[in-house]
C-alpha cells in the first residue's frame, strides 16, 4: 500500500509546478495559444499560423506550455496535435482564490475592529 488515504490525500501541487504554470502564462503568445486551445485542439502549424515568428521559436513556446502541464500533445503521422489540460489551469485558479480568501478575511477582521472602535466610542 504505497499511498494510504489516497482518496483524501490529494496532495497540494509543489511550488515548482505552480512556478511553471504562472511562468507559462506570463507570455502573451502562450496565453493566446491556451485561449485558442480552450475552444478546440489544434496542430502545431495551425497554432503557429497567426504569429510572425519562425517555427522553431514558436515550438519553443509550445514546449514551455507542455512542460508546465497546461497542454498535452500527441503525434499522428507527421502532425502533432495539442490539447488543453484544464487541471493545471485550476492549480493557478486555486492559488489565487486562496489568496483572495486570506485577503478578504483580513479586510473583514479590519472592518470588525474599526466597528468595535466606533462602538466603544473611541475618537
Partner DNA sequence: CCATTACTTAGGTCTTGACCTAAGTAATGG
Partner DNA sequence: CCATTACTTAGGTCAAGACCTAAGTAATGG
In which residue are the cell numbers 468595535 written? Answer: 116
Query: Contact, 51 vs 29, CB < 8 A?
Result: yes
Q: Which does 55 bind (CB under 5 to 8 A by kind): a copy of itself, DNA, none?
A: DNA
* Cα 5 from Cα 7, distance rounded (Å): 5
Residue 98 CA neighbour count, 13 Å, CB half: 7
99 binds a copy of itself (CB under 8 A): yes
Per-residue contact track with DNA, 51 to 90, x per CB under 7 A? -xxxxxxxxxx--x----------x-xxxx----------
Q: Residues 101, 87, 43, CA angle at the centre, nearest 5°?
A: 135
User: Closest distance between DNA and the C-beta of residue 62, in Å?
Assistant: 7
Q: Would you give the DSSP letter of residue 17?
A: H
Residue closer to DNA (CB basis): 14 or 123: 14
Which residues contact a copy of itself (rule: CB under 8 A)?
Answer: 15, 18-20, 22-23, 25-28, 31, 34-35, 38-40, 84, 86, 89-90, 92-93, 95-97, 99-100, 102-103, 106
Amino acid at each position: 500500500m504505497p499511498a494510504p488515504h489516497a482518496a483524501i490525500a490529494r496532495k497540494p501541487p509543489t511550488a515548482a509546478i505552480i512556478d511553471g504554470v504562472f511562468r507559462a502564462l506570463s507570455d502573451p503568445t502562450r496565453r493566446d495559444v491556451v485561449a485558442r486551445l480552450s475552444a478546440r485542439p489544434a496542430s502545431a502549424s495551425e497554432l503557429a499560423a497567426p504569429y510572425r515568428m519562425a517555427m522553431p521559436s514558436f515550438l519553443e513556446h509550445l514546449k514551455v506550455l507542455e512542460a508546465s502541464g497546461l497542454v498535452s500533445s500527441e503525434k499522428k503521422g507527421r502532425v502533432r496535435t495539442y490539447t488543453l489540460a484544464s487541471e493545471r489551469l485550476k492549480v493557478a485558479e486555486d492559488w489565487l482564490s486562496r489568496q483572495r480568501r486570506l485577503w478578504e478575511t483580513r479586510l473583514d477582521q479590519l472592518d470588525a475592529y474599526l466597528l468595535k472602535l466606533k462602538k466603544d466610542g473611541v475618537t
